[in-house]
Amino acid sequence: MTWDVIPDQYWERNREAHEFTQGVRLHHERVNAIEFIINEMKKGITLDIGCGKRCLGTVANIDIAYPSIRDPTFQIMDAHNLDFPDNSFEAISIIEVIEHVENPSQVLREIYRVLMIDGKMFLTTPNPAHISVFIKRLRNKRIKIHCDHLHTWHWEMLTWLIHNVGFRDIHVFFWGSVEQILKDGKPAKLYRSYRLANILYRLGFRSPMLNLNMFIICRK
């Protein structure tokens, strides 16, 4: 199946899919990777970028929106230009944010600048190599894209980007099996291929293709 022209309804359907998945608690604290980040961010002088309403940072939490947050550590700030001195933080989290920014390299350079020597960055982002994408490609189907995502990377490309900024000791993990994604206390049924991924996961397969997200830890 091919299109010479993308159907107009494609964009609207993507937006509807995005609005549906907003109800799926992808970033719930019970997800192992997020729990790990939360525990690490409680230590020392830390910053959470794109914090939303969670505010994980101990001394600073920033977002380009959410002006109603009353946390005293919260500031409205653009991640492309962090208004902090060099070497300010021991750890920085950027959870499901890097895919939304206009210039990921600039954001990563700013994170590198304000991290202390040996400081850690905790980054998560969707995994475009998920089995749902692979199956859709095999069936020559269109792939639904989050309407607010500006970028996507396979882990090799993303780690290369991070490496080129200057980070070292880069470790990549995968998280977000279907079992971990809950909606109203029940497993979310987003696509048939997600359910297939869940079955394979329960059978003991641990391929990155079965996980929805990448989790990267690295040092300055």
What is the residue-averaged pLDDT of the chain? 78
For 212, the token pair is 């929805």
Cβ neighbours of 67 (radius 10 Å): 8
Mean pLDDT of 105-117: 98
Query: Tens digits of per-residue pLDDT, 115-135?
Result: 999 999 999 998 887 776 777
- Identity of the amino acid at 32: N
Q: Does 4 fall in a domain?
A: no
Per the structure, the complete domain to which residue 122 belongs is given by: 9-219
pLDDT at residue 17, rounded to an integer = 52
pLDDT band at 69 (very low <50, low <70, confident <90, very high): confident
Query: Tens digits of per-residue pLDDT, 161-174?
Result: 999 999 999 998 87
| Token pair 């939303």: residue | 52
Q: pTM score, two decimals? A: 0.78
Cβ neighbours of 70 (radius 10 Å): 6
Give the contacts of 4 (CB within 8 A, at least 6 positions apart). none
> Could you tell me where the beta strands, DSSP code E, fall in 23-162?
46-49, 60-63, 74-76, 89-95, 115-126
Query: Tens digits of per-residue pLDDT, 72-100?
Result: 899 999 999 999 999 999 999 999 899 99
Q: Does 14 fall in a domain?
A: yes
Q: What is the CATH number of the domain that holds 87?
A: 3.40.50.150
pLDDT band at 13 (very low <50, low <70, confident <90, very high): low
According to DSSP, the β-strands at 46-49 and 60-63 are parallel
Query: Tens digits of per-residue pLDDT, 24-64?
Result: 344 444 456 777 888 888 889 999 999 888 889 999 999 99
Q: Does 39 fall in a domain?
A: yes
Q: Is residue 16 predicted with pLDDT exceeding 80?
A: no
Q: Answer with the residue of higher pLDDT: 187 or 104.
A: 104
Q: Percent helix, strand, coil in the chain (nearest 5)? A: 35, 20, 45
Q: Does 127 fall in a domain?
A: yes
Say if CB 45 and CB 203 are below 8 A apart: no
Q: Does 76 fall in a domain?
A: yes
Q: Answer with the residue of higher pLDDT: 71 or 139.
A: 71
Q: Does 69 fall in a domain?
A: yes
Q: Is residue 112 predicted with pLDDT exceeding 90?
A: yes
Q: Does 210 fall in a domain?
A: yes
Task: Report how far apart, in Å, the C-alpha atoms of 109 and of each of 9, 64, 83, 121, 127 are.
Answer: 38, 18, 13, 12, 22
pLDDT at residue 48, rounded to an integer = 95
Number of domains the chain is built from = 1
Q: Does 1 fall in a domain?
A: no
